[in-house]
């Protein structure tokens, strides 16, 4: 009696498997390259934000002879709100208050209203509006103060940008300063406002930092 013919199940050849692996590798490479391009674009935007804010300050000072936020004639100059805490500091060539202040009478808080009314920046000029606080491209606060964020940090004023990953903090420092995150004119602060020296080993620590630049 003749046995029925055997059915053979055809598998993938080594060549086919190799082709699939190559395609997967190309796709992964494209995704990683795309992410790298996005990260680099964000770093450029973050650095540009520091430059833009310093330009706002110098532009306002050049036009009105006072720092935005610290202008005692702001009502006449741009119909802005006069800072009142502390009243004795108005017009002293300092932007007083925390860089991320939420106190509506602080110079550092009113800074954004003054530069916006002067046409040096875009955004809401209504200090009670939800979208009034300035945010960076990572949705962290962006702000200015003349109070050094850490002891021994020289500068007339300091621009700070929050909610930044280790990678962004290191790349900003490399682009703007000496590449060491706890020295120079650009420094990185942790959640306790202490300067930290971030290295490649910290890349995946999951922590968020504030980067401040002194001017």
The reply to whether 76 falls in a domain is yes
Q: Which two tokens stand for residue 112?
A: 């954004």
Say which residues have a Cβ less than 8 Å from residue 26's Cβ, sequence separation at least 6. Answer: none
The answer to whether residue 39 sits within a structural domain is no
pLDDT digits (tens, 9 = 90+) for 149-194: 999 999 999 999 999 999 999 999 999 999 999 999 999 999 999 9
C-alpha dist (Å) from residue 148 to 44, 82, 87, 99, 213: 25, 23, 20, 10, 10
- Return d(Cα 68, Cα 141) in angstroms, integer: 18
Decide if 61 is inside a domain.
Answer: yes
Is residue 65 domain-resident?
yes
- What pLDDT is recorded for position 152? 93
Q: How far apart are the C-alpha atoms of 49 and 135, rounded to whole Å?
A: 10
Domain span at 188: 44-214
Give the Cα separation of 95 and 145 in Å (integer). 5
In a domain, residue 53? The reply is yes
Average pLDDT estimate for 60-83: 98
Q: What tokens were used for 26? A: 């190309």
The CATH number linked to 82 is 3.30.1690
Residue 189 lies in a domain: yes
pLDDT-derived band at 30 (thresholds 50, 70, 90) equals low
**What's the number of domains the chain is made of?**
1
Look at residues 34, 45, 146 and name the one whose alpha carbon lies nearest to residue 97. Answer: 146
Tens digit of each residue's pLDDT (9 = 90 or more) over 99-151: 999 999 999 999 999 999 999 999 999 999 999 999 999 999 999 999 999 99
pLDDT confidence bin for 59, thresholds 50/70/90 = very high
* Residue 131 forms part of a structural domain: yes
19 within some domain: no
pLDDT (0 to 100) of residue 169: 97
């Amino acid at each position: 009696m003749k046995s029925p013919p055997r059915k053979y199940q055809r598998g993938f050849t080594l060549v086919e498997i190799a082709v699939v692996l190559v395609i997967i590798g190309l796709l992964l490479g494209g995704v990683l390259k795309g992410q790298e391009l996005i990260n680099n674009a964000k770093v450029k935007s973050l650095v540009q934000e520091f430059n833009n804010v310093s330009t706002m300050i110098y532009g306002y000072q050049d036009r009105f002879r006072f720092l935005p936020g610290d202008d005692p004639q702001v009502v006449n100059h741009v119909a802005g709100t006069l800072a009142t805490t502390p009243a004795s500091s108005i017009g002293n060539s300092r932007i007083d208050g925390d860089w991320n202040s939420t106190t509506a009478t602080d110079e550092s808080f009113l800074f954004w209203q003054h530069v916006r009314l002067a046409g040096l920046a875009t955004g809401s000029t209504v200090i009670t509006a939800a979208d009034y606080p300035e945010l960076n491209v990572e949705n962290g606060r962006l702000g200015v103060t003349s109070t050094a964020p850490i002891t021994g940090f020289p500068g007339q004023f300091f621009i700070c940008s929050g909610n930044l990953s280790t990678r962004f903090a290191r790349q900003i420092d490399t682009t703007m300063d000496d590449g060491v995150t706890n020295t120079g004119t650009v420094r990185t602060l942790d959640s306790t406002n202490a300067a930290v020296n971030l290295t490649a080993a910290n890349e995946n620590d999951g922590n968020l930092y504030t980067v401040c630049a002194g001017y």
